[in-house]
Amino acid sequence: MRNLLTIIILIFITTSSLAQETKKNVQTKRVTKAPKIDGVLDDDAWIGADVAKDFVMFRPGAGTPEEHNKRSEVRIVYDDEAIYFGAYLYDDDPENIPQQFATRDNFGTTDWFAVVINPNNDSQNDTEFFVQVTGNQLDAKSNPNNRDFSWSAVWESDVKIVDDGWIVEIKILYSALRFSNKNVQTWGLNFHRQHAISRNQYSWNFIDRTVGITQQYAGTLSGIENIKPPTRLSFSPYAQAAYDMYDGENTFDKSIGLDVKYGISESFTLDATLIPNFGQTGFDNLVLNLGPFEQIYQEQRPFFTEGVELFTKGDLFYTRRIGDRPTNYVSNSDLADDEIILENPNTVNMLNAIKVSGRTEGGLGIGFFNAITERTKAKIGIAETDNNGDIIYNPEGNPTIIDSYKVVTEPLANYNVIVFDQQFNKNSFVSFTNTNVFREGSVRDANSSALMYFLSNKKNTHNVNGGFKTSRVRENGKLNDGYWVDASIGKNAGKWQYNMGYQMADKNYNINDLGVNFFNDYQRFYTKASYRIFEPTKNFNRYQFRYSGNLRYRHSDGAYTGNNFRLNFNATTINNFSFGGNANTNIGQQYDYFEPRVEDHFFKQNGRANFNTWISSDYSKQFALDVFVYYGFRADDPQRNIGFGVDPRYRFTDKFTLQYGLNYNKSDNTKGYVTVLPNDLIVFGERDQKTITNSISGRFYFTTKSALSLTFRYYWSPVSYDDQFYVLKEDGTLAPNSYTGNHDINYNVWNLDLNYSWELAPGSQLIALYRNNIFNADNQSQLGFGENLQNLFEQEMGHNISLKMIYYIDYNNMKGWFKKKA
């Protein structure tokens, strides 16, 4: 009897496993009269439609069926214009579903339902449409490497809460999708549903998170016949007006522009922006950077955030290079004693930009990007001087300018990117990317290429991964060629996963004209390993351990430079309380070839260790809190680092949420670069640095279409140097030196944005913005917090008020307008 029971259980398990591996299919039907999108499933169109049901959990558990009183049932119909989804989402307690409001493409704390469509059924490229209980919409493009919520389409949905759950109806126009011109089509399809309180997530076709990628677990949608891809052409004209006030000067600026989106074919789309104005983009979180590498900021300009995933292949394209600070930006140190900077733009205007991207049914992605920036000049004034060579000032305190001239700080420039990316075997790709920058007069031109690959076995359990990149910079007639190599093998399925590899870059590798490369002339051997659970335990929904380590050497001469080892743990309890920690260490002597800022010199330091821990409470609660603390030290050295962060958030109502953040960091006795003397001596100093960041963000939602948002940040970082300075010796150690100089820094950044946005029609927006800001950097690092704040408000504050309107026009709707007039 026991053996028979065992056999039955094994048969059941095997059958269940096979069933989970089998793709579900649902049949759609054509309708002559489309359902009304009102959140009520009473239209004749839904009668007789197949039902997609029997959802199963895939997060945090795997394969658990939905409870009957929380089941999901979805019907699908289509016509010549669109595809329609009607979902009945049962819930035995709908009144207690959290209903935090949010605006487009932002998740609020509430339940949601998602339709995931893959018209090419290639198991890699999905188009996702989310609807929350509140009616808020989100949409995204997703692939094995990225989920892009900056992509936006125009589609319709409506929600109704009923006694036994909630209902959502969705209409997705074919213009929002890319599909072939076949008479009979089979699309990849899945549905997702998440419950906000439990955070349990279910899917129609089972998703096995232990192996492969989410996209490969789509079911199929059949029954679509004789639909034609529509003309995908839309226009988004805009008008903007801005009023600036700073230091007693008021300026008014107005502009108009146009964004165009055109479907060249069923697979490829052209995006163009003409006379762009990015005046309403969010402020950058500026920080005091004392290190050898440039500070990188997040892209916030819409044209550069929407649909650019294909262009990131190879990591050669950093969009902030376009319209960034001029290459030859003028500083006072560049001027003669009698010269004054009169005009000196700190950004370069972009004249226009286009991008063409798409993917064929066979999985070949092609992307082309081009942008042109205008010639930028600084204006230098020549002041009148006295017999001692000192500048003469008029009674108003301004220098007397007797002549002026202009100097080009950034020539007319053209930026290009081209990408070919072939996907295959569900989770594999080979891609080629080329970027180039041409500047007027060939002052400095650059060209970079990358051949990248990720090759997974058929079961998606193991992979080889890597690439080869080249760079070429031509400056003042001189060529510099460089290259970069990476190769690794790994296991990417199951509880235990690992990766190991080798990476190097030669001394001339430089992609910084259009990409980002912090350092070159290195080689490193690296390893990674992790362990995580996919099924909840008695106490945890999930937990994970991760390890990474590397050994580093110079490429040019093979000199050892250092190592790094890291351990990480993070977990979430069954009550959705998350916590974790991290230990990071360098063992033994470390040889830093970048801190000295002079080629072939290095700074030798003892190893160090850093430890941090954090907690994060359940965001579905009215009050939530994030906290972190860390401590670091260097062996046999007085250097110490401490810090903490506190980030409480409170939901006053479903429409109003406020969040405050306080970050405190303090580093003592840190030795670092100061300057290079005329005799080529490299001067280091010992410094204490304190950084305090206060931030407030809040949002009040009038509806899911309109909201008032506040973003505030005050960053303060004073740095005090010890009176004793040092010079860097050839062996990398420091020797006391008689050098004197005041290098103390008191760095302040104040930003406040108050923004009202209203989605007045699908794809159309009205945005009103008030912004103020103060920036101040001096050497008064001895000031306390209150004194420093008083000193900051003695500086000039900039004020900006702007209004922008964007109106979305679809060509297919325009045809309807003209037909009505006829």
- Give residue 6's pLDDT: 42
User: Does residue 125 form part of some domain?
Assistant: yes
Secondary structure letter of residue 781 according to DSSP? T
Share of the chain above pLDDT 90, in %: 79
Task: Indicate whether 197 belongs to any domain.
Answer: yes
Residue 441 DSSP SS3: helix
Handedness of CA 318, 319, 322, 325 (dihedral sign): negative
Which residues make Cβ contacts (< 8 Å) with residue 170, sequence separation at least 6? Answer: 37, 84, 85, 86, 87, 115, 129, 131, 155, 156, 157
The DSSP secondary structure of 59-100, one letter per residue, reads ESSSSPBPPGGG-EEEEEEE-SSEEEEEEEEE-S-GGGS-B-
The CATH number for 204's domain is 2.60.40.1190
pLDDT per position as a tens digit, 273-304 = 988 888 778 889 999 999 999 999 988 888 89
Q: Tens of pLDDT along 395-423? A: 888 888 999 999 999 999 999 999 999 99
- Amino acid at the residue 90: Y
> Is residue 788 situated within a structural domain?
no
Those residues with Cβ within 8 angstroms of residue 678's Cβ, 6 or more apart along the chain or in another chain: none
Nearest CA to 205 out of 50, 56, 16, 89 is that of: 56
Better-scored residue on pLDDT, 266 or 271: 271
Instruction: Tell me how far apart the alpha carbons of residues 115 and 87 are, in angstroms, rounded to a whole number.
Output: 10
Name the average pLDDT for the chain.
92
Task: Determine, yes or no, domain membership for 481.
Answer: no
In the chain, the amino acid numbered 579 is: F
* Mean pLDDT score, 731-756: 96
CB distance 363 to 370 below 8 Å = no
**Is 109 among the domain residues?**
yes
pLDDT at 45 over 80: yes
Rounded to whole angstroms, how far apart are CA atoms 253 and 801? 11
- Positive or negative CA dihedral for 459, 147, 308, 296? negative
719: nearest Cα among 672, 657, 658:
672
d(CA 400, CA 392) in angstroms, rounded, equals: 6
Residue 57 domain-assigned (yes or no): yes
Helix (H, G, I), strand (E, B) or coil at 796: coil
Is position 97 within any domain? yes
Tell me the C-alpha to C-alpha distance, in Å, between residue 142 and each of 126, 146, 150, 270, 319. 5, 6, 11, 19, 20
Provide mean pLDDT across the span 456-477: 93
In angstroms, the CA 299 to CA 321 distance is 10
448-457 in b/e form (b: 16+ CB < 10 A) is bbbbbbbbbe
Name the token pair of 25: 């299919």
| CA-derived radius of gyration, the chain | 30
Q: How far is CA 704 from CA 98, 161, 167, 655, 757, in A?
A: 15, 16, 17, 9, 11
* pLDDT beyond 60 at 394: yes
Over residues 106-163, the pLDDT tens digits come to 999 999 999 999 999 998 899 999 999 999 999 999 988 888 888 888 899 999 999 9
What pLDDT, in 10s, does the model give residues 717-726?
999 999 999 9
Q: How many domains does the chain have?
A: 1
Residue at 166 is within a domain = yes
The first and second tokens of residue 285, run together, are 């979180």
In the prediction, which pLDDT does 396 show? Answer: 80
8 A C-beta contact, residue 102 and residue 195: no
d(CA 514, CA 786): 42
Structural domain including 174 reads 25-225
